[in-house]
Amino acid sequence: MAAPVRHTYSPAHPPVLISRDAIAARVVELGAQIDRDLAGESVLLVGVLKGAAIFLSDLARAISIQCTFDFVAVSSYGKGTRSSGAVKLIKDLDHPIEGRNIILVEDILDTGLTLSFLKRMLMQHRPRSLRVAALLDKPDRRLEPIQAEYVGFSIPNHFVIGYGMDYAERFRNLPDICIFPPDAAD
């Protein structure tokens, strides 16, 4: 029998900050909260590529009310430029959102510059409501006074990878949220 394929990471075995089981349980809770808040209505989940893709796909399946989704993408000039406030839309919504209940879905709320920009942009299209769901929140890093209505986990200022989040586009497929580099956990 072939040996089981080992999921090897490089650097090897980054420490797990939030396990796949903890993520799954919290996502179910967030879905139930959204169902309660929007009972009898429908919701359009708007994912911010690429980091939010995995969270959105799990969150959508934890929601029972009528649910559709769309995606936007913003420029990725690197955090230096992003911190100057230079956020640019590079993929717009595919469909109109006027009169719709919108939840912007993000993997991580950090400085808040991305979500502030996107909230301003989406509000111009006159949605019925606009909320934010962020799997992770780093409140210590905030430059813009923005809060998410739905937060999975509030975390300290670690650089994290996995469950959609990357380092140089790698590690998005790790099932757990891990600290990078591994010795940063010491």
- Interface residues toward ligand PRP, by CB under 6 A: 48-51, 76, 82, 106-114, 166
Burial of 121 (0-12, 13-18, 19+ CB in 10 A): middle
| Contact indicator for 50, 106 with CB cutoff of 8 Å | no
Ranked by CB distance to ligand PRP, the top (closest) residue is 51
* Residue closer to ligand PRP (CB basis): 48 or 63: 48
Q: Find the helix or strand (DSSP H, E) in which 57 lies.
A: helix 53-61
Distance in angstroms (rounded) separating the CA atoms of residues 114 and 123: 14
* 110 noted as active-site residue: yes
- Strands 101-109 and 129-137 come out as parallel
Nearer to ligand PRP, 109 or 174 (CB): 109
Residue 67 or 165: the one with the smaller Cβ distance to ligand PRP is: 165
- Among the listed residues 58, 107, 110, 176, the single catalytic one is 110
In sequence order, the 6+-apart residues with CB closer than 8 A to the CB of 107 are 48, 51, 52, 54, 55, 134, 135, 136, 163, 164, 165
Comparison of 94 and 169: residue with beta carbon closer to ligand PRP: 169
Exposure string of 73-106, with b = 16+ CB inside 10 Å and e = fewer, is: ebeeeeeeebeeeebeeeeebeeebeebbbbbbb
Active site (catalytic) residues: 110
